[in-house]
């Protein structure tokens, strides 16, 4: 009898969990899944949702250990922020400066010698006026009727008679530059606004200027650059100054 009792198998105990513990375990697993899903959704979302973080707006994404990516907006280096925190406005573009007019080489308007030089920085004695005065150009002696040519291509500004300088032609070369041909005997067939090429005839040498009537027949020639008279002799090759014959 004792042998049968010792070899008789004992019934196994059922390891069932209490009904309350199973519910809490399922709840913890669900909460863990929801938390993990939310974490990855927040950290893997497109960074372009924040306009300030786009490369075009000068923003950088900075990595924060344990905290994912944090957007850090930087001020563009070419436009530093003002002390008040506002962005300075770009200054208005400065217009390009107008090139300064410069004198150029001229053709010889008439062959001859200079009998009266250019004098604007000192006075020269005028036989006609019997007084010391300035002289805005050069007087080139030549025979009456000698052809006078345009020293530079331009447009006729004036072609007529002046009260003091007689028959005169004024050519405009742009930017305030002009050449003046005065004391002429005759004027070529020219009209205001007409284009003239260098070397074209503008008139003939004469003695029509009342202000220079005591001098020999000559061409009174002036060169104006940027609205100011300059010495024509410096820009014409082949002319020399001589003392006029009494």
pLDDT by position in tens, the chain (length 246): 444 444 455 555 555 555 556 667 777 787 778 877 777 666 665 554 444 444 444 444 444 444 444 444 444 455 555 555 555 565 555 666 656 778 899 999 999 999 999 998 888 888 877 788 889 999 999 999 999 999 999 999 999 999 999 999 999 999 899 999 999 999 999 999 999 999 999 999 999 999 888 889 999 999 999 999 999 999 998 888 886 555
| 28 alpha-carbon distance from chain centroid | 73
Return d(Cα 189, Cα 131) in angstroms, integer: 36
> Which sequence spans correspond to the domains of the chain?
21-73, 113-235
pLDDT at residue 123, rounded to an integer: 86
Nearest to 216 by CA among 147, 116, 134: 116
pTM exceeds 0.85, yes or no: no
- Percent helix, percent strand, percent coil in the chain, to nearest 5: 20, 35, 45
Sign of the CA dihedral with 193 first, then 194, 198, and 201 last: negative
Return d(Cα 120, Cα 133) in angstroms, integer: 9
3-state secondary structure of 246: coil
pLDDT at residue 56, rounded to an integer: 46
pLDDT at residue 82, rounded to an integer: 52
- Spatial neighbors of 5 by CB under 8 A, at least 6 apart, are none
Class of domain 113-235: mainly beta
């Amino acid at each position: 009898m004792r042998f049968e009792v010792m070899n008789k198998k004992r019934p196994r105990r059922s390891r069932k969990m209490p009904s309350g513990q199973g519910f809490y375990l399922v709840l913890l697993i669900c909460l863990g899944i929801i938390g993990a899903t939310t974490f990855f959704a927040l950290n893997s979302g497109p960074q372009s949702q924040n306009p300030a973080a786009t490369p075009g707006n000068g923003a950088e994404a900075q990595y924060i250990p344990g905290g994912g990516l944090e957007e850090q907006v930087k001020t563009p280096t070419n436009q530093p922020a003002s002390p008040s925190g506002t962005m300075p406005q770009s200054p208005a573009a400065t217009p390009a400066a107008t090139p300064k007019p410069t004198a150029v080489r001229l053709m010889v308007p008439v062959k001859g010698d200079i009998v009266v030089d250019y004098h604007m920085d000192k006075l020269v004695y005028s036989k006609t006026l019997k007084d010391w005065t300035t002289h805005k150009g050069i007087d080139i002696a030549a025979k009456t009727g000698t052809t006078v040519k345009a020293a530079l291509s331009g447009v006729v500004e004036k072609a007529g008679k002046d009260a003091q300088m007689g028959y005169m032609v004024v050519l405009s070369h742009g930017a305030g530059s002009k050449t003046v041909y005065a004391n002429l005997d005759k004027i070529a067939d020219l009209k205001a606004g007409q284009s003239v090429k260098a070397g074209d005839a503008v008139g003939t040498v004469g003695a029509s200027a009342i202000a220079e009537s005591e001098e020999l027949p000559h061409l009174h020639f002036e060169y104006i650059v940027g609205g100011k008279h300059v010495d024509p002799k410096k820009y014409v090759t082949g002319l020399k100054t001589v003392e006029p014959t009494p």
